Structure 1
Amino acid sequence: MPKVLDICERENIRVILPLVTRELIPLSKAKKDFNERGVYLPISDEDVMKVLNDKHKLSVRAKEAGVSVPDFRLATNIAELRAYASELGYPDRPVCIKPPISNGMRGLRILDENKDRLELLLSEKPTGVYSTLDEVIAILEGADDFPPYLVMEYLPGEEYTIDAMADKGEMVVSVPRLRQRIRSGISFDARVVRDKRLIEMTRLLIEGLDIDGVCGFQFRESDEGTPCLIESNPRLQGTVILTAGAGVNIPYLLVRMALGEKIEVGNIKWGMSIKRYWGWFFFDKDGSPYPF
């Protein structure tokens, strides 16, 4: 972090907005040093960050705070992985497994014995998340050390992301959005929804964990329609632009908070939606932009 501090002083930078998961712990460790030099980091302290970045610790603390979570176990070896998957209904029911610390769907697998393997082979892209317990174990047996895995109840319902902002354990704003179409973990079609259940659970998380600055949460509905917390993103999230379009420009509000200015959330445009699409840029042989 000394190099980052030097850049901040040289360029007169007063605010650093968190974007990448792997940077969060180092930044939170250096938060005091940055503050002493007049640089604001709108993130939680290190002890809170270690909970938010660990899906197992987060599930435990969220449950204590009164937030709905899927049934879960932490497997530390192959025998536990088999046993916990069975306890959660596998192979009769699908089970979700994921590393406690990861992002962008890395390490995520949905164990489903009833999926047509031929259909998966011929019709699904090789980046698919479906597998079986035996297939996963065959891979893990080749590891020098077993990587801990969170074994969770599979949630088949709608998925939501919350863009939120906190001020020393108090919720400033919470904007839920329904993820209507997802590709490789990225929302391509989403809509802002006024779901009081999600807003209230966000408040419970912020107060219960003493969260500060920017934070994001992901929920998914169970068979019964109950939204359950599946992970936290204590940083600016990929589709925060939708929340800005709905009238809550969180990056802008974070900067204003850093400068000690009064912030006003304003009216949220509930129902605002976004669609993401691929575009192209053309360049000639010299690398200059080429109109098409």
Structure 2
Amino acid sequence: MKKTRLKNLNVLITAAGSPGVPGLIKSLRLVDERKFKIIASDMDENAAGLFLADKYYIEPPSSNPQYALKILNICRREKVDVVIPNVGLVTLSKNLKKFEKNEIKVLVSKNTKMLEKVIHKGRLFSFLEENNIPVPEYSEVNNLDEFINAVRSLGYPKKPVCFKPVISEGTRGFRILRPDANRLDFLLKEKPGTPITTLENVVSILSKADNFPNLLVMEYLPGKEYSTDLLLKNGRVVAAVPRYRQITKLGLSIVGMVENNKDVLELSKKVAEISGLDFNINIQIKYSEDGKPKVIEINPRVSGSLVLCTAANVNLAYLGVKALLDEPFSVAPVKYGVKMIRFWSELYINEDGSTYTL
């Protein structure tokens, strides 16, 4: 029997330099029932995702006051049906009506207040605690004395302690304080980019700051880390795929596996449904020293490793688009045990802009 083909769609993917965009594009290209024209945008003219798309634009920083208008103008020019954003979520959520007037759908929750709460890690942890969701022990600090006291109260130097800015993307600003950190070893033996340091090193830097940054000091969780990709429709979870983050580098899963961890799945679903968010979200969970799963992050967008879900039989990227368009869909059974290993690849660009691979 011949399959019914649906209307082809023009999709704009923003921040196309994000590590997960190549996998996102692959997931959309794999869809049989319709074709996609993929437009990509990024601040960086060398972002790989731009050259994997059918057409691309250079976008301004999401902090630009005109960001939403610039994205809307791209959409009008390219007759975009759906926007899949990787940045500027709050800004786009606040401007949804402008996009809807132009018959453009944006894959972001309308719950702007919750988006703002999720982005601020201190408010997020407070919200989760109020709803009896386990989170790491933490303190939000605003000056150097508070920072030092919070680190000590969490067990340093007997235990490692970590911290990050209350508002940050991925692993930016994340550090692990370990008293046994050997500066000479880090200088000569470790690759650049390690998050491990000492309290003394950090204090020497923070003491010179003109304006002390708002930081979240947290319990260090040494156990296994999981990331659950979920899809919500009208506040209800309709699909969920838990992944074990076996090896990570710079916040990205390099080796991961779809694992049927019922505790992680149950906790992720509970968090998702109390969040009041819709469409694609990602929840990160890590195990504590005493073996308890604790929520460390909610990412209210498509995640950087969503392609692993596609490989495990659940194309959450496309299901998110269908949910956004209010199209009926079914969710295939998750293929547990699928493992992903990431590696570097190359893309070559001719003078005329055409691309090829070897």
Give, in whole Å, the separation in 2 of the partners of 1:266 and 1:69: 31
AA at the equivalent of 1:25: V
Counterpart in 1 of 2:323? 257
Counterpart in 1 of 2:339? 273
4+ residue segments displaced more than 4 Å: 281-292
Give, in whole Å, the separation in 2 of the partners of 1:162 and 1:280: 29
1:107 aligns with 2:167: no
The 1:49/1:125 distance shift into structure 2, 3 A limit, reads: same
Q: Deviations over 1:3-39 (max 9, x none)?
A: 322332332222111223xx11111111232223322
Give, in whole Å, the separation in 1 of the partners of 2:342 and 2:287: 24
Give, in whole Å, the separation in 1 of the partners of 2:262 and 2:118: 22
The aligned runs of 1:188-227 (5 Å cut-off) are 188-227=254-293
1:15 aligns with 2:92: no
**3-state SS in 2 of match to 1:252:** helix
The 1:283/1:54 distance shift into structure 2, 3 A limit, reads: closer
The aligned runs of 1:131-280 (5 Å cut-off) are 131-280=197-346
Counterpart in 1 of 2:5? none
Q: Deviations over 1:233-286 (max 9, x none)?
A: 111111100011111111111221222211211111011111111124567899
- Deviation, 1:114, is 1.9
Counterpart in 1 of 2:194? 128
The 1:288/1:185 distance shift into structure 2, 3 A limit, reads: same
- Deviation, 1:102, is 0.6
Which blocks of at least 5 consecutive residues in structure 1 are unaligned? Answer: none
The 1:290/1:64 distance shift into structure 2, 3 A limit, reads: closer
Residue 100 of structure 2 is aligned with which of 35, 50, 58?
35
The 1:64/1:275 distance shift into structure 2, 3 A limit, reads: same
1:5 aligns with 2:88: no
Give, in whole Å, the separation in 2 of the partners of 1:276 and 1:63: 35
**3-state SS in 2 of match to 1:74:** strand
AA at the equivalent of 1:208: I
Give, in whole Å, the separation in 2 of the partners of 1:115 and 1:165: 40
The 1:155/1:290 distance shift into structure 2, 3 A limit, reads: closer
Alpha carbons 2:226, 2:243 under 8 Å: kept: yes
Counterpart in 1 of 2:154? 88
Give, in whole Å, the separation in 1 of the partners of 2:160 and 2:244: 23
AA at the equivalent of 1:8: C
Give, in whole Å, the separation in 1 of the partners of 2:72 and 2:121: 30
Alpha carbons 1:55, 1:232 under 8 Å: kept: no
- Deviation, 1:290, is 8.3
**3-state SS in 2 of match to 1:253:** helix
AA at the equivalent of 1:104: G
Give, in whole Å, the separation in 1 of the partners of 2:345 and 2:357: 13
> Structure 1 length as normaliser, TM-score?
0.92
Which blocks of at least 5 consecutive residues in structure 2 are unaligned? Answer: 1-67
AA at the equivalent of 1:9: R
Moved more, 233-242 or 251-260: 251-260
Alpha carbons 1:17, 1:251 under 8 Å: kept: no
Give, in whole Å, the separation in 1 of the partners of 2:320 and 2:352: 41
**3-state SS in 1 of match to 2:281:** strand
Count residues with an aligned counterpart. 290
**3-state SS in 2 of match to 1:255:** helix
Give, in whole Å, the separation in 2 of the partners of 1:140 and 1:284: 46
The 1:7/1:132 distance shift into structure 2, 3 A limit, reads: same
Alpha carbons 1:71, 1:153 under 8 Å: kept: yes
- Deviation, 1:291, is 7.7
**3-state SS in 2 of match to 1:16:** strand
- Deviation, 1:135, is 0.9
Considering Cα pairs closer than 8 Å and 6+ residues apart, tell me whether 1 or 2 has the greater RCO: 1
**3-state SS in 2 of match to 1:223:** coil
Q: Deviations over 1:214-250 (max 9, x none)?
A: 1111111111221111112111111100011111111
Give, in whole Å, the separation in 1 of the partners of 2:356 and 2:329: 43
Alpha carbon RMSD of aligned pairs, Å? 2.0
**3-state SS in 2 of match to 1:199:** helix
